[in-house]
Amino acid sequence: VSCCTPMNCSITELLAGAEPQTMRVYLRVRPFSKEELSDGEDQGCVVIENNQTVTLKAPKGSATMKSSEKGIGMSLHKFSFSQIFGQEMTQSELFEDTVKSQMSDFLDGKNALIFSYGVTNAGKTYTIQGTPKEPGILPRVLDATFHYVGGHLYDGMDRKPYLRNDAQYLDLDQVKQERIAKAAIFASVKDVRVKSLANLKSLSSPSTRFSSSPLSYAQTVFASDPTEAGSSQFALWVAFFEIYNECVYDLLQPPLCSKSKRRAALRVCDDGAGNAYVKDLRWINIQTLGEASKLLQFGNRNRSAAATKMNQSSSRSHSIFTMKLLKIDGSRVERISEFSLCDLAGSERCNKTKTFGERLREAGNINTSLLILGKCITALRNNQTDRMKSSYIPFRESKLTKLFQAVFCGKGRASMIVNINQCASTYDETLHVMKFSAVAKQVMQVIPDKPLESLVPCLVGHDGKPLSNGVIDSQPLESYLSEEELLDEEDEANMSLLPQNEFVNMIESLRTKLLAERRRNLVQEMEIRKEMGDAMLQQLMESEELRIRQIEEQKESYQEKLENTFEMYKDAIKEHAYQCAMNNLEDDYVPLEEFIAVQEKVEVCHLISCLKEKYWTGIVCRSNTGPVGNTCHSAHFLPTAEDRCKLLYKEKCAIEKMCEDKQQLILSLEKRLMELSETLQKVGDGFLEKSADVEVLQRKGDDQTKSMDDILQQNVEKDQEITSLKAELATLSQKSPVKPKFKRGLLANIKEAVTSPRKGTPGRPLRKMSKTLRMKGS
Ligand SMILES: Nc1ncnc2c1ncn2[C@@H]1O[C@H](COP(=O)(O)OP(=O)(O)OP(=O)(O)O)[C@@H](O)[C@H]1O
Of 402, 417, 425, 547, the closest CA to residue 36 belongs to: 425
* Separation of alpha carbons 755 and 765, rounded Å: 14
Whether 30 is in the pocket of ligand 1, judged by its Cβ within 6 Å, is: yes
Of 325, 475, 345, 469, the closest CA to residue 419 belongs to: 345
Report pLDDT digits (tens) over 623-657.
555 444 444 444 444 567 788 888 889 888 999 99
Question: Of 124, 126, 300, 311, which is best to mutate to test ligand 1, by the most ligand atoms within 8 angstroms of its C-beta?
Answer: 126
Of 99, 104, 125, the closest CA to residue 114 belongs to: 99
* Separation of alpha carbons 681 and 688, rounded Å: 10
250 three-class SS: strand
Which of 126-135, 162-171, 596-605 has the weakest average pLDDT?
162-171
ipTM over 0.90: yes
Kindly tell me if the per-residue pLDDT of 208 is higher than 80: no
Q: Characterize the bridge pairing of strands 112-118 and 268-270.
A: unpaired
* Residue positions forming the annotated binding site for ATP: 118-125
Whether 352 is in the pocket of ligand 1, judged by its Cβ within 6 Å, is: no
Helix segments in 589-627, DSSP class H:
592-625
Ligand 1 atom index nearest CA of 87: 1
Question: Of 121, 127, 342, 343, which is best to mutate to test ligand 1, by the most ligand atoms within 8 angstroms of its C-beta?
Answer: 121
Its sign, for the CA torsion 344, 350, 353, 357, is positive
**Superfamily of domain 6-256+268-463, CATH level 4:** Kinesin motor domain (3.40.850.10)
Query: How many other CB atoms are there within 10 angstroms of residue 489's CB atom?
Result: 10
> Residue type for 732, please?
L
Kindly tell me if the per-residue pLDDT of 502 is higher than 80: no
**Comparison of pLDDT for 482 and 401, the residue scoring more:** 401
* Separation of alpha carbons 664 and 648, rounded Å: 24
* Separation of alpha carbons 560 and 764, rounded Å: 40
Contact 349, 387 (CB under 8 A): no
Share of the chain above pLDDT 90, in %: 15
* Separation of alpha carbons 623 and 621, rounded Å: 6
CA 526 to the chain's CA centroid: 26
Tell me the angle at which helices 214-221 and 137-149 cross, rounded to the nearest 10 degrees.
90
Average pLDDT score over residue span 253-265: 72
* Separation of alpha carbons 232 and 328, rounded Å: 6
Contact 85, 28 (CB under 8 A): yes
Q: 611: which residues sit within 8 A by CB, 6+ positions away?
A: none
Contact 438, 79 (CB under 8 A): yes
* Separation of alpha carbons 566 and 583, rounded Å: 25
Q: Given this model, what pLDDT does residue 202 score?
A: 46
Q: Of all residues in the chain, what percent are helix, strand and coil, respectively (each to 5)?
A: 55, 15, 30
Average pLDDT score over residue span 260-269: 80
* Separation of alpha carbons 320 and 340, rounded Å: 7
Whether 344 is in the pocket of ligand 1, judged by its Cβ within 6 Å, is: no
Report pLDDT digits (tens) over 249-258.
898 888 766 6
Dump strand ranges (E) for 121-211.
159-162, 166-169
Contact 492, 270 (CB under 8 A): yes
Distance 125 CA to ligand 1 centre (A): 6
Phi-psi region of 357 (alpha: psi -120 to 50; beta: other; left: phi over 0): left
Q: Given this model, what pLDDT does residue 240 score?
A: 94
Contact 102, 114 (CB under 8 A): yes
**Comparison of pLDDT for 763 and 268, the residue scoring more:** 268
Of 143, 151, 133, the closest CA to residue 218 belongs to: 143
How high is the mean pLDDT of the chain?
Answer: 75
Whether 316 is in the pocket of ligand 1, judged by its Cβ within 6 Å, is: no
Average pLDDT score over residue span 27-55: 92
Nearest CA to ligand 1 atom 26: 314
Q: Given this model, what pLDDT does residue 764 score?
A: 44
Measured in degrees and rounded to the nearest 5, phi and psi for residue 474 equal -65, -20
Euclidean distance between the first and the last CA atom of the chain, given in angstroms as a whole number: 156
Share of the chain above pLDDT 70, in %: 70
Distance 305 CA to ligand 1 centre (A): 14
Distance 86 CA to ligand 1 centre (A): 14
Distance 29 CA to ligand 1 centre (A): 10
Of 232, 237, 412, 239, the closest CA to residue 333 belongs to: 232
> Residue type for 492, please?
E
User: Residues 736-739: contacts with CB within 8 Å, 24+ apart?
Assistant: 736/580, 736/672, 736/675, 736/676, 736/679, 737/672, 738/587, 739/584, 739/587, 739/588, 739/669, 739/672
Burial class (CB in 10 A: 0-12, 13-18, 19+), 99: buried
Distance 218 CA to ligand 1 centre (A): 29
* Separation of alpha carbons 524 and 520, rounded Å: 6
* Separation of alpha carbons 249 and 256, rounded Å: 12
Q: Given this model, what pLDDT does residue 474 score?
A: 37
Which of 164-178, 349-363, 575-589 has the weakest average pLDDT?
349-363
Whether 309 is in the pocket of ligand 1, judged by its Cβ within 6 Å, is: no
Its sign, for the CA torsion 124, 127, 131, 136, is negative
Report pLDDT digits (tens) over 66-117.
888 887 778 889 999 999 999 999 998 999 888 888 888 898 888 899 989 9
Report pLDDT digits (tens) over 44-53.
899 999 989 9
Contact 355, 309 (CB under 8 A): yes
* Separation of alpha carbons 56 and 45, rounded Å: 5
Kindly tell me if the per-residue pLDDT of 402 is higher than 80: yes
Q: Given this model, what pLDDT does residue 638 score?
A: 54
CA 382 to the chain's CA centroid: 23
Contact 330, 154 (CB under 8 A): no
- Whether pTM > 0.80 for this model: the answer is no
**CA-angle at 30, arms to 28 and 31, nearest 5°:** 145
Give, as one character, the DSSP assignment of residue 756. S
Average pLDDT score over residue span 328-354: 77
* Separation of alpha carbons 730 and 417, rounded Å: 90
CA 684 to the chain's CA centroid: 62
* Separation of alpha carbons 763 and 45, rounded Å: 98
Kindly tell me if the per-residue pLDDT of 384 is higher than 90: no
Distance 420 CA to ligand 1 centre (A): 9
Domain spans, the chain: 6-256+268-463, 546-581+645-777, 589-638
